[in-house]
Amino acid sequence: MKFIKTEIKDRIGYIIINRAEKRNALNYEVVKELKETFHSFSLNDLVKVIVLKADGNIFCAGADLEYLQELQNNTYEENLEDSTHLMELYKMIYTLNKVVIAQINGHALAGGCGLVSVCDFGFSIPEANYGYTESRIGFIPAIVMIFLIRKIGESNARHMLLSGNVIKAHEALDYGLISKIVDSDKELEKEVYDFAQHLIIHNSGTSMELTKQMLNKIQSMDLDQALTYASSMNAKARSSEDCKKGIQAFLDKETIKW
């Protein structure tokens, strides 16, 4: 691939945006390669947890503005196709069958902040800035707001989306946009690795997959629908091989290997 590098290490699948000279900005090809890589890792039994990271000192500056300028000459139908292409990436990450951790080594702005919003966890260096700055160029953060509201609530989302302000990492942590701040880039690598290994060693892959599936669905249900769905998922989980294995190991006082 031209813009994406990959690595598999100790059951962690690393997806690395490799476009540092363009601040890891997104265009059609970058999005295409990200979608292909996430799909590939979702099917790979050697990968249990996925880490999204980037080369250089910027995580992702959002859409490539030169690319956006080119799209202004497109028809509505052509722009809708391109927009749907980006939407599919965000939805894929958000609903993926495996946990995705964002390793944020620098600023995450606009669509790059969107990538952070759809990951399950975000580990950041203190210097990283976050923001949805689309309003400053007459654009709108249309797709990402769906996921942002789910992640940080409407009030915080309104502040970020309507103000267009850039916030510091500690504010992003307070909002719930990211999970943890790590002191340095070197420590960030280790912290993400250790956390991913914690999930890999201690958690059932089936349990994490089903939990993510439920988290994605219940927010659009009313109370009765959600409870009925939760009861069915509870029953389904009881008969899974991972549940049988986990309960037996607990009863036998054995350390389970996931």
Give the H/E segment covering residue 116: helix 111-118
Contact 157, 148 (CB under 8 A): yes
Catalytically annotated residue among 127, 134, 171, 187: 134
Asked about 21 being catalytic, the answer comes back as no
Say if strands 4-9 and 121-124 run parallel, antiparallel, or are unpaired: unpaired
**Alpha carbon distances (Å) from 205 to 143, 187, 199, 227, 256:** 29, 26, 9, 23, 13
Mention every residue, 6+ apart, whose C-beta is less than 8 A from residue 237: 206, 207, 210, 243
Contact 169, 143 (CB under 8 A): no
d(CA 37, CA 6): 8
230: three-class secondary structure by DSSP: helix
Name the β-bridge partners of 100: 50
Closest CA to 105 of 116, 118, 96, 90: 116
- Which amino acids are annotated catalytic? 134
